[in-house]
A and B are shown apart, each in its own frame.
Chain A
């Protein structure tokens, strides 16, 4: 036996140390918010408040009674955390991105910031947590009574001690004080409770070490080899088939649901989370913690069964084993472990629940009945803090009341499971809300209320065994003797364990109502928006809200609210940093920002009602909403469109580059053309001017000489005229101006005319002009005279440029496949490869010792032929001489 004063003193010292840690944690967090207090290790340790005194004492009790069943409570969370990638990651990200303050806040925010939903979830959480807090008080009281029992612990555990409610009361009062001092100093939930979390982390280490110490002591001192540890193990452990039935599955499911839905677990896992890396580490470290906690549970249970007298309370083996062996230090350490697990659970639970109560019950009521003190900012903050402090006292003493009412009979595990089943009712709305777009607030309300009523009827109320609301006769025979409504055998389902029975009915009805009512009802526009924001949390961030909700409010009124709730310091930061100090009407952005900040303090639903009270008009753009909902699809379409456009732009750019290239070429040609024209004009002008100078200045030139000079002047003038005519012609043709007549004619006549015209020239140059094959009955469309001009040009070129000793020019024509071909070939030097295209360019002449023509002939000829849709080209690769060919499509004319 340990003296009560000693135990109390140790507890007080331990609490003092926790106070110190919490103070240091708060101070450190203020200086460096990203320090080790936000480390994944501290985060994981804070999650381990899942292991309460129910774990610390009850796991061994459960193992002694039911074998392996106790591990289900830890396997469920292990699966949830190891599978964080599937669900937890999304939940935590939503909580972080949307500044969620509690499980009630998340559900109410998801379903359109519905205040009713938040209140329902809060009430349910409050009622479901009461047994759990009662359980902690019971464990604290019982462990204190046993360790200080004057006749020795073994006797104490064996005799059925009445709970000492005085101890329970003082424990409850102490817990209230600690929670209030550290949990409710500021009202911003998102500043996170660093001090409390630091203290909780220390407690997590203490309880783990305490249980490990007892376990190691049992294995090393009392047993030895593994075989000895498990010698005389209970039957349930050696023939375990019975364990793995519906109850095993139900317990795994409830534990997995509880580790998400319990308000305190939600608080430490979601609300206190600051980065994904914390969760990533917790995904293996938290299961490892649970594993270590459970490692020695079975050996302790077996040792307790073997060594302690029959009838000892198995829930207290952790204490009574070392006490029975006179190991007072280990016993005291074990007591501290149990104390740690109980206190940390109550502290975090009461903080989480007090936030929920103040945000979802007190605030909405205060707003509704205008009892919020409006005088000044400190008053409102004091009101909220006061509400939270009162809530903590209320919650802890509700637990105390449950403890007082439910009496002594229940084992620890049974009480805890009642809570688990109660909070598991949140699961359908939580999971459905994060994955199912059509889930509506009506569906969520129906599911939650339906499931909760069934839970209360089949599990919670019967747990009082007739002392509270439900008389014992109803539990035995059903209300009014209706057997089909018996709480433990609803609709005749009698063969199941009460927990499996209650879980089955409550979750089934919850699911059916949630899905059914959701499908029958329409979500509000705001709920639709929220569902998109929550479900697609990895794809978009909060700013999308701005484009959907259009609101107007006066800056002064908005500022008044911010002053009242956030305090003047933060309000100044919020309003003055935005550059809109002088605006009268607040922008959508500012309104949303204020609402976000308010939501972090008082929850989404209350923040919305607060902001709505000063908003004069609000519209939710249905078009934007639709667009937002289909955005995933649109992003895909948009990117396809972008791709198509960029291809188009690329093609256009290539075309532009090509056009630019051509423009440069043409510009160059134009420059060349101009310089050539000036040059060509200058030559005849020079000779005209010089001869006219001679004629003017020298009066004594004889007549013949005069005549010769005049004829030169005339010839040069004629050449100049021809040149200018040619340029004019070319210019007209290039701009497509002249309206030439298009009549059917026989091209042979044009060819013949050309040959006749050139005969004199040929004879003068000593060139033989030959006519070989001749086309028959060829008709083409065009201007006969123009074609004659083309042929004359070709033949005269062939004559002029023929430097061969026996010069010959051969003209031939054929019709082949509707194409008329006229060829003019010579046996001259031919045209070098490089010149083949150049000769068709203006002012380009063939290689001749002296300029023989205007250099426009071929250019004009080609223009004429192309104008009538024919072609003029040089026959490629001729060994000697050059051969030009004119091709024209023949006309079909019946004559």
Chain B
């Protein structure tokens, strides 16, 4: 139980951190480090960097969405109970 909770908390923390990390990596001044006229196997470094970071962010978002999917969505509990409470009225 406590381990599950710790994992869920870690997922939430990571989900909160992700956009800020992505923004920091993709905005100046950090991005200027890679804005050098360098080619990697014929591809400009900046192209490799931007698309690399982008792909990493997508991968991280995918992993996090899987973690979120596993944990019971606690926020949905009230709405669920609401649905159950509303059901008898229809009969």
- A750-770 residues at the B interface, CB under 8 angstroms: none
A237 interfacial contact with B, CB 8 Å = yes
Asked whether A230 lies within 8 Å of B43 as measured between CB atoms, the reply is yes
User: In the complex, what residues of B have CB within 8 A of residue A85's CB?
Assistant: 12, 15-16, 18, 64, 68
B10: interface (CB < 8 Å)? no
Pairwise interchain contact A226-B43, C-beta atoms closer than 8 A: yes
For A244, give its contact among B31, B59, B78 (CB under 8 Å).
B31
Cα–Cα, bound, A94→B14 (Å) = 23
A616 nearest CB across to chain B (Å): 26
**Is B44 touching A75 in the complex (CB atoms < 8 A)?**
no
Say whether, besides A280-B65, A540-B78, A80 and B19 are in contact (CB < 8 Å).
yes
Q: Does B8 contact A (CB under 8 A)?
A: no
B69 with A82: CB separation less than 8 A: no
Please, what's the 1-or-0 string for A260-298, where 1 marks a CB less than 8 Å from any CB in chain B?
Answer: 000000000000000011001101100110010011001
Complex-state Cα separation, A239 to B62, whole angstroms? 33
Interface string of A73-89 (1 = CB under 8 A from B): 00100111111111000
Q: For the complex, count residues of A whose C-beta is within 8 A of B.
A: 51
How many interface residues does chain B have, given as a range? 35 or more
Flag if A240 contacts B28 (CB, 8 Å): no
B53-66 vs A, CB cutoff 8 Å, 1 = contact: the mask equals 01101111110110
Asked whether, in the complex, the Cβ of A240 is within 8 Å of the Cβ of B46, the reply is yes
Q: Give the residues in chain B near A82, CB-CB below 8 Å.
A: 18-19, 22, 57-58, 60-61
The complex places the Cα of A288 from the Cα of B51 at a distance, in Å, of: 11
Q: List residues of chain A with CB within 8 A of the CB of B39.
A: 227, 230, 238
Name the residue among B18, B47, B75 with the largest chain A CB count within 10 angstroms.
B47
Chain B CB count within 10 A is highest, among A244, A291, A543, for: A244
> Contacts of B6 on A, CB cut-off 8 Å?
none
B23 — nearest CB in chain A belongs to which residue? Answer: A79
B72 close to A (CB within 8 Å)? no
List B contacts of A283 (CB < 8 A).
Answer: 61, 64-65
From B18, B65, B79, contact of A83 by CB (8 A):
B18
Give Cα A97 to B64, complex, Å. Answer: 24
Q: How far, in angstroms, from A298 to B59 measured CA to CA in the complex?
A: 22
On whether the beta carbons of A244 and B68 are closer than 8 Å, the reply is: no
Contact B65 A75 (CB under 8 A): no
Asked whether A577 lies within 8 Å of B65 as measured between CB atoms, the reply is no
A245 to B57, CA, bound (A): 22
A249 part of interface (Cβ distance < 8 Å): yes
Closest to B89 in A: A577
Q: Which residues of B contact A639 (CB under 8 A)?
A: none
A71 at interface, CB cutoff 8 A: yes
CA of A231 to CA of B20, assembled, Å: 35
- Mask of B18-42 contacts with A, CB within 8 angstroms, 1/0: 1110110011100110011101011
A228 within 8 A of B: yes
Q: Is the CB of B19 within 8 A of A240?
A: no
Any A CB within 8 A of the CB of B90: yes
Smallest CB-CB separation from B73: which chain A residue?
A: A276
Asked if residues A280 and B68 are in contact (CB atoms below 8 Å), the reply is: yes
Q: Does chain B have a CB within 8 A of A229?
A: yes
Contact assessment for B19 and A83 in the assembled complex, using a CB-CB cutoff below 8 Å:
yes
Quick check: B42 and A229 within 8 Å, CB to CB?
yes
* A436 on interface, CB distance cutoff 8 Å: no
A281 to B69 CA separation, bound complex (whole angstroms): 9
Q: Could you tell me the distance between the alpha carbons of A284 and B68 in the complex, rounded to whole angstroms?
A: 12
Contact present for A231 and B54 (CB under 8 Å): no
Q: Would you call A541 an interface residue if the criterion is a C-beta within 8 Å of the partner chain's C-beta atoms?
A: yes
A240 to B34 alpha-carbon distance, docked (Å): 9
Interface of B is mostly: helix
Determine if A535 is an interface residue (Cβ-Cβ < 8 Å).
no
| A233 interface hit (Cβ, 8 Å) | yes
Bound together, the chains give a CA A284 to CA B55 distance in angstroms of 10
The CB with the most chain B CB atoms within 10 A, among A75, A225, A578, is that of A75
Flag if B58 contacts A291 (CB, 8 Å): yes
* A78 and B22 contacting across the interface, CB-CB below 8 Å: yes
Chain B residue nearest to A227 (CB atoms) is B42
A291 touching B51, Cβ below 8 Å: yes
Please, which residues of chain B bring their CB within 8 A of the CB of A93? Answer: 75
Q: Is B82 among interface residues, defined by CB-CB distance under 8 A? A: yes
Contact status A249-B75, CB under 8 Å: no
Residues of B within 8 A of A240 (CB): 35, 37, 44, 46
B27 touches A249 (CB 8 A): yes
Q: Chain B: which residue is nearest A238 at the CB level? A: B37
Please judge, given known A-B contacts A82-B22, A577-B90, whether A237 and B44 are in contact too, CB under 8 Å: yes
Q: Is A252 an interface residue (CB 8 A)?
A: yes
Q: How far is the CB of A314 from chain B (nearest CB, A)?
A: 18
Contacts of B73 in A (CB 8 A): 276
Contact of A239 among B37, B47, B64 (CB under 8 A): B37
Q: Is A225 touching B42 in the complex (CB atoms < 8 A)?
A: yes
Contact B61 A281 (CB under 8 A): no
> Would B61 and A287 count as touching, CB distance under 8 A?
yes
| A237→B31 contact, CB < 8 A | no
Distance of A226 Cα from B40 Cα, bound (Å) = 10
Given A79-B26, A238-B44, residue A287 in contact with residue B18 (CB < 8 A): no
Contacts A75-B54, A230-B44, A280-B69 given: A248-B27 contact, CB under 8 Å? Answer: yes
Q: Which residues of B contact A577 (CB under 8 A)?
A: 89-90
Docked complex: A389-441 residues within 8 A CB-CB of B: none
Q: Contacts of B54 on A, CB cut-off 8 Å?
A: 71, 75, 78, 287, 291
Q: Which of A252, A281, A287 contacts B26 (CB 8 A)?
A: A252
Interface string of A711-724 (1 = CB under 8 A from B): 00000000000000
Compute how far the CA of A249 lies from the CA of B42 in the bound complex, rounded to whole angstroms: 27
A243–B43 Cα distance when bound, in Å, is 17
Would you call A68 an interface residue if the criterion is a C-beta within 8 Å of the partner chain's C-beta atoms? yes
Please give, as numbers and ranges, the residues of chain B lying within 8 Å of A287 by CB-CB distance: 54, 57-58, 61
- A78 pairs with B68, CB closer than 8 A: no
Q: Looking across the interface, which residue of chain A has its beta carbon closest to that of B68? A: A280
Q: Which residues of the other chain, B, contact A226 by a CB distance below 8 angstroms?
A: 41-43
- A538, CB-defined interface residue at 8 Å: yes
Q: Does B2 contact A (CB under 8 A)?
A: no
Alpha-carbon distance A291/B42, docked complex (angstroms)? 21
Chain A residues within an 8 Å CB radius of B43: 226-227, 229-230
> Residue among A78, A228, A241 with the most chain B CB within 10 A?
A78
Report Cα–Cα, A245/B31, bound state, in Å: 10
A291 to B62, CA, bound (A): 14
- Rounded to whole angstroms, the CA-CA distance of A464 and B84 in the bound complex is 57
The residue in A233, A240, A248, A541 that gathers the most chain B C-beta atoms within 10 A of its C-beta is: A240
Q: Which single residue of chain A is at the shortest CB-CB distance from B22?
A: A79
- Taking the nearest CB of chain A, how far is it from the CB of B65, in angstroms? 5
* CA A295 to CA B55, docked complex, whole Å: 11
A541 — which chain B residues lie within 8 A by C-beta? 78-79, 82
A525–chain B nearest beta-carbon distance, Å: 25
Contacts of A75 in B (CB 8 A): 26, 50, 54
Which of A231, A233, A244, A540 interacts with B35 by CB under 8 Å? A244
Give Cα distance in the complex from A231 to B47, angstroms. 14
Give the nearest-CB partner of A231 in chain B: B42
The smallest beta-carbon distance between B24 and chain A, in angstroms, is 10
Q: A226-B43, A280-B68, A284-B62 are in contact. Are A538 and B28 (CB under 8 A)?
A: no
User: 15 A-B contacts, Cβ less than 8 Å apart?
Assistant: A68-B46, A71-B50, A71-B54, A75-B50, A78-B58, A80-B19, A82-B57, A225-B42, A239-B37, A252-B26, A280-B65, A284-B61, A287-B58, A288-B62, A295-B51
| In the complex, the 4 A-B pairs of residues with the closest C-beta atoms, listed nearest first | A83-B19, A227-B42, A85-B15, A284-B61
Point out residues on B near A: beta carbons under 8 Å: 12, 15-16, 18-20, 22-23, 26-28, 31-32, 35-37, 39, 41-44, 46-47, 50-51, 54-55, 57-62, 64-65, 68-69, 73, 75-76, 78-79, 82, 89-90
Residues of A within 8 A of B (CB): 68, 71, 75, 78-86, 93, 97, 225-231, 233, 237-241, 243-245, 248-249, 252, 276-277, 280-281, 283-284, 287-288, 291, 294-295, 298, 538, 540-541, 543, 577-578
